[in-house]
A and B are shown apart, each in its own frame.
Chain A
Amino acid sequence: DQQVKQNSPSLSVQEGRISILNCDYTNSMFDYFLWYKKYPAEGPTFLISISSIKDKNEDGRFTVFLNKSAKHLSLHIVPSQPGDSAVYFCAVFNFGNEKLTFGTGTRLTIIP
């Protein structure tokens, strides 16, 4: 039973435009929501996170939005740059069992 779903396996965006990556989750008891970025042949790296008590967190070009009623998480990248081309994983964390659960990933390609 997939607790975290990323329904778009891939996304292409023009350089300079906004990239929007989406994620849906099933359990309302998660405490933290996160985005990780992965380049080929490397391990994932942490990008940005948001607590369940907030609805927005911003870090430079990256903003994460949390809609708890819809159980939906999104990552906005603006402006998009060629170096943003990577696979993006959303993840959810539960303090109770200390498990970090990942989605299936979305491959973002920034077109120069």
Chain B
Amino acid sequence: NAGVTQTPKFQVLKTGQSMTLQCAQDMNHEYMSWYRQDPGMGLRLIHYSVGAGITDQGEVPNGYNVSRSTTEDFPLRLLSAAPSQTSVYFCASGVRGEGSGEKLFFGSGTQLSVL
């Protein structure tokens, strides 16, 4: 049982490049979300989804796109990378409803550096 799988683990981009951070879960969870972790800022919600075909913005959505075509996958796209997007990114999934707020399962993170 893999849980939540994020790829890649590390990535270095140049300013202006685009890329997609992959996230897949094998627990049939409806709820998925993306966070970024920055020193002194904690975990900030970027985008989230309560089911296939449904996405919504979090606290810091600018510069990022998401889509949810299947229950399992929730990719995060950086359209034109900026140094301010240097961060550690975490994907998470959970059971919708009462479980949406509880027992989110997190991936191990993607460390992204934008030069």
| Interface, chain A (partner B; CB < 8 A) | 4, 6, 9, 31-32, 34, 36, 41-46, 49, 89, 91, 93-95, 97-105
Contacts and interface: CB of A to CB of B under 8 A. Distances in A.
A100 B45 contact: yes
A56 to B, nearest CB: 17
A46 B45 contact: no
A89 B43 contact: yes
B44 A100 contact: no
A98 B102 CA distance: 11
A103 B42 CA distance: 6
B102 A101 contact: no
Q: Looking at chain B, what size class is its interface with the partner chain?
A: 20 to 34
Contact of A44 (B40, B56, B100, B106): B106
Interface string B13-45: 000000000000000000101010000111111
A41 B45 CA distance: 19
Contact of B102 (A32, A89, A99): A32
Contacts of A93: 100-102
Given A43-B4, A43-B90, A89-B42, A100 B106 contact: no
Nearest to A100: B101
Pairs A-B, 9 closest by C-beta atoms: A93-B101, A43-B106, A104-B42, A102-B43, A32-B101, A46-B103, A102-B42, A49-B102, A98-B100
A101 B45 contact: yes
A98 B100 CA distance: 7
Nearest to B3: A43
B100 A100 contact: yes
Given A34-B101, A93-B100, A99 B109 contact: no
Nearest to B4: A43
Contacts of A105: 42-43
